[in-house]
Amino acid sequence: MPIMPMRPILDAAARGGYAQGAFNVNTVAQAKAIIEVHEMFRSAAIIQGADLANAFMGGRGDFAKGTVEDKRLGAKRIADAVYRYAKDAEIPVALHLDHGKDVDSVKAAIDGGYTSVMIDGSSMPFHDNVELTREVVKYAHPLGVTVEGELGVLAGVEDHVSAEKSNYTDPTVACEFMEKTGVDCLAISYGTQHGAVKGPDVKLRKEIAIATTENLRYRGITALLVSHGSSSVPRYVVNRINALGGAIKDASGIPIDELTAVIPHGIRKINVDTDIRLAVTRNFREYFTKYPEKKKSPSVGPVWELMDKNPDKFDPRVFLPPVMNQMIVEFDIKDGDILDLVDLVKKGVREVVGTLIIQFGSFGHADDVEIKTLAQMREFYKNQ
């Protein structure tokens, strides 16, 4: 079916009392695998492209310096792939911009085909965050596009988003923020962290989610909360990477039981990126260990060279620039070694995503989602 806005998918999660995983992608192969595994478990799918991931998909190897034009091209590339793979799928699929940096980046994503966007003004003073988020809502809702905002700051590093300490979300201020901006859903800070080093004793402050949800309900606002920085950083994956020459230190994630305990209290979308990066990197290391002759391959040998030079890195974007043009588009790859890497990417995605679909409880709920097009959501927002 055609891809759709994210709001109806989260509304179904609220009715059903479960959470939707939202999974970041940086290549076409990842998007395809995410749709396939969600189909297998009969779950709706939320595919996320981060703001800088769009720059990477636009062909910018140094994606941190990506321009709006890079992001526009990258957004169209990933949207074209998602539309291609979703059109014959029997599940709802949404394409969501993660951590939109500014209004121009949001517009680039929507122009490219995204059906949902996040604008991250969380590092700004409250008033400025409200004004920026409201501006995005005014642009996106008349197009039928879902909007996510963020209130509170998460510690850790992810692309251009970084902070040393968390600034927890104030539940009473969250109500004011949602009333003033009109966002569909809100990312809150309640103890999760970006990146692979979250600390050995992470404890989520469940009471923040509970109080925020109850305050929103009391004010008559639909409570759709989002959990960022929620990768579990599986120890078995990290250990395997390090056994194969990696040097990832102090890696620790959010315990799954901590995450699932908050789902009944309003968390309807859980963002995961790091776990996929780790699984793909492990698969690459296993491949080059099992087939050492591939280290000299004209096409993928340079990928190994970057892995060998950067044993402490686990983001595949560090290693993929030598094959970026083929991996980004994927539709017509003839090189067998590059196809091997594509397959390894897909396997890593399926492993992580399939596990979390079960743990977050979205399996079997695809048919519970009320299918709404962008045009139908335009009418929904017009009548609010």
CB 22 within 8 A of CB 48: yes
- Token pair 């340079």 is found at 302
Q: Which residue has the tokens 């309900």?
A: 217
Q: How far is residue 2's CA from residue 46's CA, in Å, rounded to a whole number?
A: 13
Please choose, from the candidates 120, 151, 353, 362, the residue with its C-alpha nearest in 3D space to the C-alpha of residue 232.
353
CB atoms under 10 Å from CB of 201, counted, come to 7
β-pairing, 161-163 with 156-158? antiparallel
Q: Which tokens in the block code for residue 155?
A: 């510690």
CB 306 within 8 A of CB 318: yes
Residue 325's identity, in one-letter code, is: N
Name the residues annotated as catalytic.
98
362, 13 Cβ separation under 8 angstroms: yes
Name residue 252's amino acid. Answer: S
Using alpha carbons, list the distances in angstroms from residue 191 to 56, 143, 166, 205, 256.
Answer: 29, 34, 7, 6, 13
